[in-house]
Structure 1
Amino acid sequence: MSQSTIHRVEFKTNVVHINDVKQRDLARAKHLVAGHQPHGPNAKKHQHQRQQNCDGSSEIPVTDNGVTYLVNCGLGEPATNVSLLVDTGSSNIWVKDTSYQVTSTSTDTRKPFSIGYGSGSCSGTEYTDRLTLSKDLVVENQSIGVADKCDKMDGFDGIFGIGPVALTQNTMAPDASSPNGIATVMDNLKGQGKIQDECIGIGYAPTTDLNAASGTLCFGGADPSQYIGDLSYVPITSTSPASNYWGIDQSIMYGDTEIMVKCAGISDTGTTLILLPQDAFNCYQQQTGATLDPNTGLLTVTKAQYDQMKSMYFCVGDQKYEFIPNAQILCRNQSDSPDAITLAFMSMGDIQHDGLCFINGYAFLQRYYSVYDTANAQVGYAATKYTNATTN
């Protein structure tokens, strides 16, 4: 992949308080477990000829605010800049009506749309418009939901969904021309010849600098400069409802102890923590000696306990992805106390589903490069220079 084809845009980081993380993640998990779709990424597996190389990719940065990662985009011509939450668990792009300006490239389709999320919902009217991701990466006639009703969606202008097209089903009024859903940004980038392969690479960097860009989206494939060694892919799980998202089969070890047997779950940028089934969470708490903080509802350990913690191993396919003790804690800048050591795990609790037992959220994705390949219905992971960093 030629570095000259990669396009980056820099922007700032916003970090929110740790107290809000648990309830937001639980609400999202409940939505994902309940949100069964008739088709998942597997629906596209046989629609494209497999291509081994992802040439002509384009890259833009994403920023971590502790709960969401934001990407700056332009809508219309002249472009109005908006800050959108990056979400692998949905596939529509929408923006609040207060952040949207009608321009010469805007077309009101007069179709209503409505989308529910774990932490809120929105509804309004669909437009098609020019979407500018960078000066060299522009999408024409992209479906954009313009929301006149939106609740619990503070701190950003809208959602940038990068999930499979099936997740757009039932979000807009029925259309005979698009019975399988609304064309996603990935569909349009591919269809307009802007990318060769319909896959996206995501690299995040753990950071304590509130003014630094902390990640990159690579449209059209993986950026080899963002990871170390080889990418290892696994097919999307066949187990529902995880198969409706970027679902994988995984087991987890803590040291030499298996704390989670192999089961289906998802890789999700919209979740901050790593969510475990209740029995695995209990075992992890027992192994670490952690206690629940009454203020945050999250596990905490003392400095002495932290010093005795072991590495975890996320077993996906034939690979074991090591999670060192520092990777298992949240950034201490997000807490009221700089001495607090809060673990980045919580239980799925009562919302656990046999077909969606865990969620690998940002806490995991900050440490491993991930690739979401729509054409081949697979997820890939690779180590990065931050995998064993001690920045938290």
Structure 2
Amino acid sequence: MLPLTSLTIVLSLLVVGSPVSSIPLNTQKTVVSLVTKFKAGGVTNVVAGDRTRAHVLYRAAISGKHDANASITNVPPIGYTIQVGFGNPMKHYGLLVDTASGNTWIGADQEYTKTNTSTGTGNTVSVSYGSANFSGEEYLDTITLGSLSISNQSIGVANKYKGFEGVDGVLGIGPVNLTKGTVSNTDTVPTIMDNLFSQDSIDSEILGVYFVPVSEEDATGTLTFGGWNSSLMTSDITYVPITNTSPACTYWGINQSINYGDSNLLSSVSGIVDTATVLILIESDAFKTYQSATGATLDETTGLLKITPDQYSSLKPLIFTIGGTAFTLTPNAQIWPRSMNSVIGDTSGNSDNIYLIVADIGNKTTFGFVSGYTFLERFYSIFDTTNQRVGFATTAYTESTSN
């Protein structure tokens, strides 16, 4: 059930769509508007952006440095954003929700406005996201999330950034160790989740994440700070501990097995769950098996696997076994929303083209998998720092056919 000291925030989705319709909740909520814009200049290859991000996250974990020394490719076409208040008097900024970063920063599309609660520390801050980066100065400021207020939160204020068109910055909700090496003269800095807990705003350092698929008319979502919302679930929660395997253990890393129908793709391999990755990335050998089993061809324009209508009708379930429970992507859940093909670089304008959301991670010296939001939007996820575990449950959208 939802703890009394938790707060649910309704997210907006960075995607062209219809006006937001509110989701009935039994908890206090803050509703924000749907953002109706994409990355400036469009997207040429979402696979390249996701793959670069995965490799940079891997190298950062191995080196223990999460600063901005990385090459830039392109950025994801869609991301979930949340309206966050900064300062006093308060000003709101739209931030990308990122479970693979611990730093919160602003100053991209909208410049940071200093207020009565803004204090410069004199330190510099820089972070790489693989497909984007930023650098700037560290400030301490008050952050407001609905009715919750965090005082003296470390934030980055960008003076240089790349790859964040359409958002004002990032809300880092990853583990605190991901801030290591990002701020000068500092080892790590408390994340917003750390400070919510230490300042007694929440009883447990737990975050519930709920994404409505981007193809739905009411595509939005919620973050629940301090707990979760069981009314959005259609099953019990399955928990799995954070993996002990390096470097996935640096992030929200778990062990899982993946099967396509009766074909095993991956057995008890470690990887990460990441809200700011778009696709589901898997090891090269597993990807080749999946491609062969589906009969898909690699589309050079989008970088995605493409299938025919007949192949789509023959798709088998893609099964993720996590903590002994099978979480299944139906055939419809394995394809990119056909009405949004132009977002991934399909210039034909043909919504009948069918692309798969499973891609090659590209390099065996990386994670076994990265489950991005195309996986997470089909399930409710819980990121539990207090108990060092991740939880999953099915939702009303697990078997949606809106793609």
**Structure 1 length-normalised TM:** 0.87
Alignment-derived partner of residue 117 in structure 1: 129
Q: Within the alignment, does 1:333 sit opposite 2:339 as a pair?
A: yes
Alignment-derived partner of residue 47 in structure 2: 22
Q: Distance in 2 between matches of 1:279 and 1:166?
A: 31
- The partner residue of 1:273 within 272, 275, 279 is 279
Shift of 1:304: 0.9
Q: Within the alignment, does 1:243 sit opposite 2:243 as a pair?
A: no
Change (3 A) 1:294 1:268: same
Q: Distance in 1 between matches of 2:216 and 2:258?
A: 31
Shift of 1:333: 2.0
Q: Distance in 1 between matches of 2:178 and 2:215?
A: 34
Alignment-derived partner of residue 138 in structure 1: 149
Alignment of structure 1 residues 65-144 onto 2, 5 Å: 66-96=77-107, 98-134=110-146, 136-144=147-155
Change (3 A) 1:237 1:331: same
Q: Within the alignment, does 1:186 sit opposite 2:193 as a pair?
A: yes
Q: Distance in 1 between matches of 2:62 and 2:293?
A: 37
**2:302 corresponds to which letter in structure 1?**
T
Q: Distance in 1 between matches of 2:129 and 2:94?
A: 18
Q: Distance in 1 between matches of 2:60 and 2:290?
A: 28
**2:340 corresponds to which letter in structure 1?**
Q
**Equivalent position SS for 1:200:** strand
Is the Cα contact below 8 Å between 1:207 and 1:391 reproduced in 2? no
**1:124 corresponds to which letter in structure 2?**
G
Change (3 A) 1:18 1:259: farther
Alignment-derived partner of residue 373 in structure 2: 362
Q: Distance in 2 between matches of 1:38 and 1:220?
A: 31
Alignment-derived partner of residue 171 in structure 1: 182
**Equivalent position SS for 2:113:** coil
Is the Cα contact below 8 Å between 2:256 and 2:320 reproduced in 1? yes
Alignment-derived partner of residue 20 in structure 2: none
Alignment-derived partner of residue 347 in structure 1: 360
Once the two structures are superposed, what CA deviation does each residue of 1:274-313 show, in whole Å capped at 9, x if it has no partner? 0010111111111111111121010011111101111111
How many aligned positions are there? 360
Alignment-derived partner of residue 61 in structure 2: 36
Is the Cα contact below 8 Å between 1:242 and 1:266 reproduced in 2? yes
**Structure 2 length-normalised TM:** 0.85
**Equivalent position SS for 1:296:** coil
Change (3 A) 1:39 1:226: farther
Shift of 1:213: 4.9
Q: Within the alignment, does 1:9 sit opposite 2:27 as a pair?
A: no
**1:298 corresponds to which letter in structure 2?**
L
Is the Cα contact below 8 Å between 2:282 and 2:368 reproduced in 1? yes
Change (3 A) 1:33 1:189: same
Shift of 1:15: 6.2
**Equivalent position SS for 2:209:** strand
**Equivalent position SS for 1:314:** strand
Is the Cα contact below 8 Å between 1:37 and 1:244 reproduced in 2? no
Is the Cα contact below 8 Å between 1:89 and 1:162 reproduced in 2? yes
Shift of 1:219: 0.5
**1:118 corresponds to which letter in structure 2?**
G
Change (3 A) 1:117 1:299: same
Q: Distance in 2 between matches of 1:8 and 1:357?
A: 37
Q: Distance in 1 between matches of 2:204 and 2:26?
A: 17
Is the Cα contact below 8 Å between 1:37 and 1:166 reproduced in 2? no
Change (3 A) 1:324 1:213: closer
Alignment-derived partner of residue 384 in structure 1: 395
Is the Cα contact below 8 Å between 2:210 and 2:223 reproduced in 1? yes
Q: Distance in 2 between matches of 1:277 and 1:207?
A: 26
Change (3 A) 1:38 1:279: closer
Q: Distance in 2 between matches of 1:12 and 1:378?
A: 31
Shift of 1:367: 0.4
**Equivalent position SS for 2:116:** coil
Q: Within the alignment, does 1:283 sit opposite 2:289 as a pair?
A: yes
Change (3 A) 1:4 1:364: closer
**2:352 corresponds to which letter in structure 1?**
D
- Structure 1 unaligned runs (5+)? 41-64
**Equivalent position SS for 1:173:** coil
**2:286 corresponds to which letter in structure 1?**
A
Q: Distance in 1 between matches of 2:332 and 2:103?
A: 35
Alignment-derived partner of residue 51 in structure 1: none
Q: Within the alignment, does 1:298 sit opposite 2:281 as a pair?
A: no
Q: Distance in 1 between matches of 2:215 and 2:357?
A: 16
Is the Cα contact below 8 Å between 1:82 and 1:99 reproduced in 2? no
**2:310 corresponds to which letter in structure 1?**
A
- State the structure with bigger RCO (CA 8 A, min sep 6), 1 or 2: 1
